[in-house]
């Protein structure tokens, strides 16, 4: 079983400087983590969807798309949209949402769960680290 924790942020305002982080566990063992700067005019939702897309691309590269996958996020919007409970409206994240839908279609056993921010500390830390590294380079 694969569990993926994702997080995105936009600082110091929304939209703002965007970054994401994700952590992938396979059978309880951490197999991959990453965090990256996205851009300077990014919404928090675009950052969340960027984390999802990059994590799913990584799973595809690892050949793990046929394993059961649970994606955990503290974004109610992302989780509820990916579960089909909330409609997509408009915003900076629409293109990333469409990309995510195409990627999710490649995973026959994928589920999404909302978790409180306190349970998403690793992915949050990676997104914040990427943001801070970008700030140092400016």
Report the candidate in 98, 118, 90 with the shortest Cα–Cα distance to residue 50. 98
Packing angle between helix 121-137 and helix 44-61, nearest 10 degrees? 110
Using CA atoms, how far apart are residues 74 and 119, in angstroms rounded to an integer?
A: 8
Instruction: List the chain pLDDT tens, one digit each, 138 residues.
Output: 999 999 999 999 999 999 999 999 999 999 999 999 999 999 999 999 999 999 999 999 999 999 999 999 999 999 999 999 999 988 889 999 999 999 999 999 999 999 999 999 999 999 999 999 999 987
Supply the pTM of this predicted model.
0.96
**How far apart are alpha carbons 88 and 119 in whole angstroms?**
26
* pLDDT the model gives residue 138: 72
- Residue 53 Rama label (left phi>0; alpha psi -120 to 50; beta): alpha
Q: Kindly report the CATH class assigned to 2-137.
A: alpha beta
Domain spans, the chain? 2-137
């Amino acid at each position: 079983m694969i569990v993926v924790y994702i997080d995105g942020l936009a600082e110091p305002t929304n939209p703002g400087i965007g970054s994401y982080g994700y952590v992938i566990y396979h059978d309880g063992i951490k197999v991959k983590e990453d965090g990256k700067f996205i851009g300077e005019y990014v919404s928090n939702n675009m950052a969340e969807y960027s984390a999802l897309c990059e994590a799913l691309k990584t799973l595809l590269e690892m050949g793990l798309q046929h394993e059961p996958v649970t994606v955990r996020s503290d974004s109610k919007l992302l989780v509820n949209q990916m579960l089909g409970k909330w409609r997509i409206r408009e915003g900076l994240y629409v293109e990333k949402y469409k990309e995510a839908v195409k990627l999710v279609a490649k995973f026959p056993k994928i589920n999404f769960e909302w978790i409180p921010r306190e349970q998403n500390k690793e992915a949050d830390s990676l997104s914040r680290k990427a943001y801070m590294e970008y700030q140092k380079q400016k």
